Amino acid sequence: MSPFLNYRQKALIGLLQAFGGHLANTDFQKYLFLFTKEYEKEPSFEFVPYKFGGFSFQSYADKRRLIEVGALADSNDWQLNDDFLSKNVIELKDFHECYQKYCNLKGSKLIQDVYRRYPYYAIKSEIAPKHMSLDEMQAIQREQPCSSSPCFFTIGYEGSSFEGYLNRLIKNNVKTLVDVRRNPLSRKYGFSKKTLSDAVNKLGINYVHMPELGIASERRQELNCQADYDRLFDSYEKDELRKNADAIERLFEVFAKDKRIAITCFEAHVCMCHRGRVAKAITALPGWKYDVCHI
């Protein structure tokens, strides 16, 4: 296989080749979902509940790359280019096993099979009522996150896939994501402002950017130990947060309106991220009586 393709992109090509080289979008997502769940120890892709069931945003980012290099046709569905395949080789054993098991399931039957066995991924499906019985719909409904009490969350994306991050928001029933990065850009797929805001909006979660609560990137240099982080955040708390008391008030207004919001930045551990000090500032407001949870 050409060296410019990563393991995820190879998985897309191998699976599509096993299923004949041409699949409709919904069928391909279902087969990819089943392949990652049942044939891979380390899943190539993760999925979130979406309007047609389990969906991988990452797979579509990889699809765009595969179209660029000529592996896939530039079409709405998934279609391999024969010329690309004639010059590349891929091991197909696991993909063929998946094909043998599921090739007779297509369309409605495929949707029903996946929704019955993995009901969480159908909780946002717009087509579930058309395909599922009343009892099956009730099983899907039971997977809906039901926590509704006010809670202030913080979340970082370091070490997380895009879908893993989104599932944390969904499972905690977060209503609004507040980005507290000064510059919401990331070399990691999914976490730059436009992609992140578009994705969470599609999942029914609001997106708000509050750059005034961020820390300038040049101040984050030479952070080698916890003491370095603590000194930075002490300075941030004393200077930026004190000067931006109005931003904390606006953040509280968002919380008061939506009840379950999450502030987000990069670092996985809150002790190494300024969002911990933002949480500290909001809990210091008069009358604060709400839970704070780091997810």
Alpha-carbon distance of 119 to 138, in angstroms, equals 10
φ/ψ of residue 178, rounded to 5: -110, 115
Q: Which domains does the chain have, with CATH numbers?
A: 7-141 (no CATH), 151-294 (3.40.1010)
Compute the mean pLDDT over every residue in the chain, rounded to the nearest whole number. 94
Alpha-carbon distance of 33 to 239, in angstroms, equals 48
What's the whole-number mean pLDDT along residues 235-243?
Answer: 90
What's the whole-number mean pLDDT along residues 180-191?
Answer: 96
Alpha-carbon distance of 95 to 32, in angstroms, equals 10
Predicted pLDDT of residue 1: 46
Alpha-carbon distance of 61 to 135, in angstroms, equals 36
pTM: 0.93
- Percentage of the chain exceeding pLDDT 90: 89
What's the whole-number mean pLDDT along residues 168-191?
Answer: 97
Q: Rounded to the nearest 10 degrees, how much is the dihedral formed by the CA atoms of 226, 232, 233, 236? A: 180
Q: Which two tokens stand for residue 28?
A: 């391909």
The yes-or-no verdict on residue 3 having pLDDT over 80 is no
Cβ atoms within 10 Å, residue 53: 26
Predicted pLDDT of residue 85: 72
Q: Which DSSP symbol is given to 172?
A: T
Alpha-carbon distance of 150 to 130, in angstroms, equals 34
Cβ atoms within 10 Å, residue 10: 19
Tens of pLDDT, residues 24-62: 999 999 999 999 999 999 999 999 999 999 999 999 999
Tens of pLDDT, residues 106-144: 999 999 999 999 999 999 999 999 999 999 999 999 999
Number of helical H runs and strand E runs in the chain: 14, 9
Higher pLDDT, 235 or 216: 235
The yes-or-no verdict on residue 86 having pLDDT over 70 is no
Higher pLDDT, 156 or 220: 156
Alpha-carbon distance of 134 to 150, in angstroms, equals 31
Predicted pLDDT of residue 194: 98
Alpha-carbon distance of 66 to 79, in angstroms, equals 10
What's the whole-number mean pLDDT along residues 168-194?
Answer: 97
Alpha-carbon distance of 61 to 44, in angstroms, equals 13
The yes-or-no verdict on residue 192 having pLDDT over 60 is yes
CB 193 within 8 A of CB 185: yes
**Paired residues of 208 in beta bridges:** 178
